[in-house]
Amino acid sequence: MTKTPITPSERILSSRRKFLQTAGIGAAASTLAAPAVLAQGGPIRWRLQTYSGAPLGAHVIKPQIDAFNAAANGEMEIELYYADQLVPTADLFRAMQNGTIDAVQSDEATMASPVDISVFGGYFPFATRYSLDVPSLFNYYGLNEIWQEAYDEVENVTWLSSGAWDPLHIFTVDKPIRSLEDMRGLRVFGVPTAGRFLSRYGLIPVTIPWDNVEVAMQTGELDGVAWCGFTEAYEVGWADVCNYALTNSVTGAWFGSYFANTESWNKVPPHLQQLFRSTIDQSHYYRAVWYWGGEARLRVEGEKMELTSLPDEEWDQVVSDAQGFWDEVAGSSDRAGRVVQAFKDYAANMEKAGYPYR
């Protein structure tokens, strides 16, 4: 019997999935497991819902939850739910705030977080070039303090951590983008902030449940997605539906966060709070390397989509337009202005340094 040849993308995806067993967090579930020692009255039980569907969630959240549950040693158990399984993604914040769910993994913009920095969650145009930009901005340019300050003003919600997720490319089914004019009228699924910016070129952002995206592209309800990078497009199957990929990246990495219902969080003993934070940090590391390991290879060696690019002069116009967008958002509140200033300071330092490493 003749074996079906393995395609380049299948070979790349297969090699990268092995990272799940070797990056620490995947291994944790098997190496940290021990006989359960139940807390008095039984384990603490949480329900956590992520913005992502199950295929993506297998990488961006499930390894962390499996590792935490194993290491918690019977004292606590987190039930994981994917996009829209318990509540619609747009209702995630309110559901967490009122205790319907105990924790959330999402960006602010997608889940409609009611803070004046929500516009920066997800993809903020040209705020980052590489995944390391995100933790650098949070740890060394004041974003940790700004995020903490913002959520301290919100009742019954605790912000825990933000990390770098994938870049933003536009993938389309049968309408290639080779000029800004080609964006006009395209209906795309995407993160709100990026959609707000790209709509100035005629792109039409559409919000539907994550699990419906692929079918919506097949039926013509959507023309494509402005939601992710190459790694995700291949992993979740969107590259099987889309024929074109725009190489111009509006953002190098988005901001994604973990949140908890404050009452639920305060019931967790300090050692389990630390364990949860530690597995979050490991998850940030895992997903940054997982994304990075696929972006370039799938862009170069992946066979499923034709690559297109905007003319240099048009792309220069998009970059220039983003500066006006930054200033517009900066004027929306004092806190937003401080975030934008951090972006400007960081970008200026990186430009002077010559982007020494990634």
Residues 318-342: tens digit of each pLDDT: 999 999 999 999 999 999 999 999 9
Whether residue 37 has pLDDT greater than 50: no
Q: Which residue has the tokens 């993938």?
A: 171
Q: Mean of the pLDDT values across residues 119-132? A: 92
- 145 burial (CB, 10 Å; 0-12 / 13-18 / 19+) is exposed
Amino acid at 142: G
Any residues with CB less than 8 A from the CB of 15 and at least 6 apart, and which? none
- Do 286 and 25 contact (CB within 8 A), yes or no? yes
Coil, helix or strand for 84?
coil
Strands in the chain per DSSP E? 44-50, 76-81, 103-106, 157-164, 168-172, 187-190, 204-206, 224-228, 244-251, 255-261, 306-308
Structure tokens at 53: 């569907």
What value does the mean pLDDT take over residues 159-170?
94
Residue with tokens 């967490």: 96
The predicted model gives 156-179 an average pLDDT of 96
Q: Which residues pair with 311 in a beta bridge?
A: none
Place of tokens 């490991």: 282
Strands 168-172 vs 103-106: parallel, antiparallel or unpaired: unpaired
d(CA 109, CA 227): 12
Instruction: State the average pLDDT over residues 122-148.
Output: 94
Residue at token pair 């330092």: 349
CATH 3.40.50.720 given to domain 10-165+254-296:
no
Share of the chain above pLDDT 90, in %: 75
The closest alpha carbon to 227, from 267, 256, 202, belongs to 256
pTM: 0.88
Fold agreement between 10-165+254-296 and 168-252+304-353: yes
pLDDT at 29: 46
Fold of 168-252+304-353: D-Maltodextrin-Binding Protein; domain 2 (3.40.190)
Q: Region 87-91: what's the mean pLDDT?
A: 93
Give the residue extent of every domain in the chain.
10-165+254-296, 168-252+304-353
Q: Of 81, 57, 73, 70, which Cα lies nearest the Cα of 27?
A: 70
The rounded distance, in Å, linking the Cα atoms of 291 and 229 is 8
Which of 268, 293, 289, 294 is CA-nearest to residue 26?
289
Asked if residues 143 and 124 have their Cβ atoms less than 8 Å apart, the reply is no
Average pLDDT over residues 76-103: 96
Nearest of 87, 158, 88, 170 to residue 123 by alpha carbon = 170
More confident residue, 30 or 155: 155
| Average pLDDT in the chain | 90
How many other C-beta atoms can be found within 10 angstroms of the C-beta atom of residue 269?
A: 12
Cα separation, 162 vs 256, whole angstroms: 5
> What pairs with residue 188 in β-bridges?
205, 224
Q: Give the pLDDT confidence score for residue 1 in this predicted structure.
A: 53
